[in-house]
């Protein structure tokens, strides 16, 4: 349960470090597995816990975040937990209002329209004051996990957050946000730099609070072409890895493994493999062998089963997992889906996925 011990000191000893070992490229007996959006609406207990609460109010309750983070671990032998939160807490910390509209998703009441709107954003963000509730949730959850598995912290990446802040919500083209990159390159860089600075402090704060690994979500990478990615996404992705590591060192905090997940950015895999992250996450639209060829030997890969494969019968899920493990190899590899779980998925099929990864990887390792 999520009881109220709050101190980051004296965390319980970690019992299963398979995920961390794989992330660092050390040998593992089985391939570790976790799922993006494993704390989510596909679980009836999640829907029940969340039902009475406004979405962002839930995010601001350390006790509820802890409960939601632990729910999937009570059901499945996952090798990692990821803190329940949302990437849009960062724009909120910059002073923007975001509400969750039922049936529509996250919505900004006043998106950025003109370059002058940048002046409305907080230029200096005290992450502890603005996002301390996430840090409290991490500390509480780390204690409540009792060392069962490591806890992952995360943030959205600058371009992805910028696109939400300008579009005001989801978009199929990101045309408003992309038009800034073409029409206002300087202002775009100014906004991306501001975001990168806040994200860096936010990620460092998560480690100080107890996060044992960090994932950066560049979920909207696929809306950029190679040149725009090179100009407006990659430099900030690189800077964040470098700045987080140097700040962790300065503060004598653990140097935790970092994961970059840039959805649909195949054209950038080579660059991402050299961007300072221990792990490169992959979506389901790339062949494992091709991803290995592009990323080389020095990073761990994470992914990339098509989430919709979980609609298949359980035996079929097992076959797909076996094929995936044979293609990636069982070492320097973390099994995951190529994107998050969908709300209408059957929890039993998620269980079948997790168990298949463990069973097949152990079998492959033995033989």
Taking the CB of residue 37, how many other CB atoms lie within 10 A of it?
18
Q: How far is Cα 191 from Cα 162, in angstroms, rounded to an integer?
A: 7
Residue 164 known to be catalytic: yes
Contact predicate 235/282, CB 8 Å: no
- Please state, in angstroms and as integers, the Cα–Cα distance from residue 67 to each residue in 34, 206, 212, 267, following that order: 17, 18, 18, 38
CA atoms within 13 A on the CB side of 180: 25
Please report which residue ranges of 24-126 form alpha helices under DSSP H: 44-51, 55-59, 62-75, 89-93
Out of 41, 75, 193, 362, pick the active-site residue: 41
Out of 21, 37, 60, 292, pick the active-site residue: 37
Residue 41 known to be catalytic: yes
Omega of the bond leading into 109 within 30 degrees of 0 (cis): no
Residue 292 known to be catalytic: no
Residue 238 known to be catalytic: no
Q: How far is Cα 260 from Cα 238, in angstroms, rounded to an integer?
A: 10
Give the residue among 236, 255, 231 at the shortest CA–CA distance from 156.
236
Q: How far is Cα 366 from Cα 252, in angstroms, rounded to an integer?
A: 39
* Residue 33 φ/ψ, nearest 5 degrees: -145, 140
Q: How far is Cα 158 from Cα 189, in angstroms, rounded to an integer?
A: 10
Residue 75 known to be catalytic: no
Out of 24, 75, 86, 342, pick the active-site residue: 86
Out of 21, 50, 292, 332, pick the active-site residue: 50
Give the residue among 236, 237, 244 at the shortest CA–CA distance from 260.
237
- Please state, in angstroms and as integers, the Cα–Cα distance from residue 176 to each residue in 68, 181, 313, 314, 351, following that order: 34, 9, 41, 42, 40
Contact predicate 6/311, CB 8 Å: no
Name the DSSP class of 267: G
Exposed e or buried b per residue across 153-169, where buried means at least 16 C-beta atoms within 10 angstroms of its C-beta: bbbbbbbbbbbbbbbbe
Q: Could you tell me which residues come within 8 angstroms of residue 10 by beta carbon, excluding any fewer than 6 positions away?
A: none
Out of 21, 60, 79, 164, pick the active-site residue: 164
Tokens of 58: 């839930």
Catalytic residues: 37, 41, 50, 86, 164
């Amino acid at each position: 349960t999520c009881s109220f011990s709050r101190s980051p000191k004296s965390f319980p000893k970690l019992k299963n470090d398979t995920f961390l070992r794989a992330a660092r490229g050390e040998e593992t007996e089985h391939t570790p597995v976790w799922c993006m959006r494993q704390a989510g609406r596909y679980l009836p207990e999640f829907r029940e816990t969340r039902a009475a609460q406004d979405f962002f109010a839930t995010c601001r309750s350390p006790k509820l975040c802890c409960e939601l983070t632990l729910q999937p671990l009570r059901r499945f032998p996952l090798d990692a937990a990821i803190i329940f939160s949302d990437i849009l807490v960062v724009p909120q910390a910059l002073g923007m209002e975001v509400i969750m509209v039922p049936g529509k998703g996250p919505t900004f009441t006043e998106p950025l329209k003109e370059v002058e709107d940048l002046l409305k954003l907080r230029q200096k963000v005290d992450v502890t004051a603005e996002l301390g509730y996430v840090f409290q949730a991490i500390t509480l959850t780390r204690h409540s996990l009792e060392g069962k598995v490591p806890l992952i912290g995360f943030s959205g990446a600058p371009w992805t957050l910028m696109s939400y802040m300008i579009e005001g919500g989801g978009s199929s083209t990101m045309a408003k946000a992309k038009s800034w990159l073409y029409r206002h390159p300087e202002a775009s860089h100014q906004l991306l730099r501001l975001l990168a600075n806040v994200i860096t402090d936010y990620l460092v704060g998560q480690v100080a609070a107890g996060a044992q690994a960090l994932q950066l979500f560049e979920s909207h990478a696929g809306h950029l072409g190679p040149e725009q990615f090179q100009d407006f996404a990659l430099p900030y992705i690189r800077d964040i890895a470098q700045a987080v590591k140097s700040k962790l060192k300065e503060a004598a905090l653990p140097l935790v493994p970092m994961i970059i997940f840039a959805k649909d950015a195949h054209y950038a895999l080579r660059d991402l493999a050299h961007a300072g992250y221990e792990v490169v996450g992959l979506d389901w639209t790339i062949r494992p062998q091709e991803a290995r060829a592009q990323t080389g030997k020095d990073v761990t890969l994470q992914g990339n089963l098509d989430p919709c494969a979980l609609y298949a019968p359980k035996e079929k899920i097992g076959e797909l997992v076996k094929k995936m493990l044979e293609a990636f190899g069982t070492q320097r590899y973390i099994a995951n889906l190529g994107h998050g779980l969908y709300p209408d998925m059957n929890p039993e099929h998620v269980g079948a996925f997790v168990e298949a990864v463990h069973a097949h990887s152990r079998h492959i390792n033995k033989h």
